[in-house]
Amino acid sequence: MADETLSYEQARTELAGVVERLEQGGSSLEESLSLWERGEKLADVCQRWLDGARERIDAARAARESD
């Protein structure tokens, strides 16, 4: 599944798995770097969802205040 189509929950769940694997250790340097890079991408996906949610909340509040 492409990162752009991941839901917040899917990205967060996968990110938690990546963090768990990194914390367990025992991976090669190359695998650890790949996991880190994947984690960074997933964190970006989560942040975009959160930013979008904040924008929607702010817009709804502004609309309510202007009524």
HEC sequence for the chain? CCHHHCCHHHHHHHHHHHHHHHHHCCCCHHHHHHHHHHHHHHHHHHHHHHHHHHHHHHHHHHHHHHC
**Residue 3: predicted pLDDT:** 86
Q: Which pTM does this prediction carry?
A: 0.86
**Residue 2: predicted pLDDT:** 86
Report pLDDT digits (tens) over 2-61.
888 999 999 999 999 999 999 999 999 999 999 999 999 999 999 999 999 999 999 999
**Residue 67: predicted pLDDT:** 76
**Residue 15: predicted pLDDT:** 98
Q: Where are the domains of the chain?
A: 28-67
